[in-house]
Amino acid sequence: MARAAILSSEEVRAYWRAHSARYAAIDSRADPEGLTNVCKPGAPLWLNRFFAHFQRVSMARALAATGPVRNLRALDLGCGTGRWARWLSKLGARVVGVDIQREAVRAAQGVARHKDSACGPDGSAARYGEMSADTLGFRDGAFDLVVSVTVLQHVPPAVRAQTVAELFRVLSPGGRVVAHEGGRPPSGRAPALFPLREEGWLALFRQAGLEAAYVAGTQYSPLLPWAQRGEALVRRCLDRGRRKAAHSPVDLVAETARANRRMGWITRLAVIASYPLEHFCAAVLPRRAATFCTMVFRKPAGGAP
């Protein structure tokens, strides 16, 4: 399927407002990490838990390879309902989470009021606020660590360099940005997704003055694209003549939800097989074969705060 026209920055904001209205109010008992909001919207939990598992593995490795987290001032960029902010809090960081999804921020704040699930070892809970990634309302050098998990890939190209410059600004000298972002152009309709290949991300951060300290490929998942293409083909055959083209951001959110909700047994079998296969692929395949890349960038110790 041909890719839809890329949305403008304002259309992307409208897309995320529609997304937030649909997905921020999540049943925390069935989906405690709010994966429906931040992985594949509306997809079955067994699929989102697969993606979340390997995101957590890759992020843990990146942090372990580049330094401790305890007592750091951390920013969870695009925090959604707060899963990474809570994780960082439990590692001992003092965390602030920000997102443009108002309803998601409110959901994260609600979870934060339950101390047993949101606090770090020192008893401190993450704090949350509504904020756009390209205009962060923090002083220079406010954070020692910034985490972005599949957030920068949703920033429109027109403001992407400005967003990374903001990360540089709010980062303290010697601080780190840990980014887990798409490393392969998407297939099909993904107008609110703007991934770069590894070399593109490295160049973007380098231009902002940040130095690469760690790069790893993650989420190879060779079976999933074929399974999802097979199911998409079946859907197109069944829906022929009944589908309408999605034009508005609200339509795009609904179309994505409809497609993800209908992941079936072909994809589920591929997911089951992919858990052990993922480790094998990571051991033998080059980074460029991965769907995502996990990167750590440092602000030079002598850099301006």
| Higher pLDDT among residues 39 and 129, named by residue | 129
CA distance 162 to 146: 16
The residue extents of the domains of the chain are 9-219+290-298
Tokens matching residue 140: 């220079």
| Higher pLDDT among residues 154 and 107, named by residue | 154
The pTM of this model reads 0.85
Q: How many CA atoms lie within 13 A of 174 on its CB side?
A: 6
Task: Name the amino acid, one letter, at 216.
Answer: A
pLDDT at residue 2, rounded to an integer: 40
Confidence band (pLDDT; 50, 70, 90) for 81? Answer: confident
pLDDT at residue 10, rounded to an integer: 81
* Per-residue pLDDT tens over the stretch 170-200: 999 999 999 999 987 655 556 678 889 999 9
pLDDT at 1 over 50: no
CA distance 152 to 194: 8
Confidence band (pLDDT; 50, 70, 90) for 245? Answer: low
What percent of the chain lies above the pLDDT cut of 70? Answer: 79
User: Which residue in 231, 220, 235, 151 sits closest to 192, CA to CA?
Assistant: 151
Crossing angle (nearest 10°) for helices 45-66 and 265-284 = 20
Confidence band (pLDDT; 50, 70, 90) for 240? Answer: low
pLDDT at 94 over 90: yes
Confidence band (pLDDT; 50, 70, 90) for 37? Answer: confident
* Per-residue pLDDT tens over the stretch 116-147: 455 555 556 799 999 999 999 999 999 999 99
Which H/E stretch holds residue 179?
strand 171-182
Q: Which residue is it, tokens 């989470």?
A: 97
Q: Which residue is it, tokens 């985490």?
A: 147
Confidence band (pLDDT; 50, 70, 90) for 254? Answer: low
Superfamily of domain 9-219+290-298: Vaccinia Virus protein VP39 (3.40.50.150)
Q: How far is CA 163 from the centre of its chain?
A: 15
Residues 50/124, Cβ–Cβ less than 8 Å: no
What's the mean pLDDT in 61-76? 96
Helix, strand, or coil (residue 100): coil
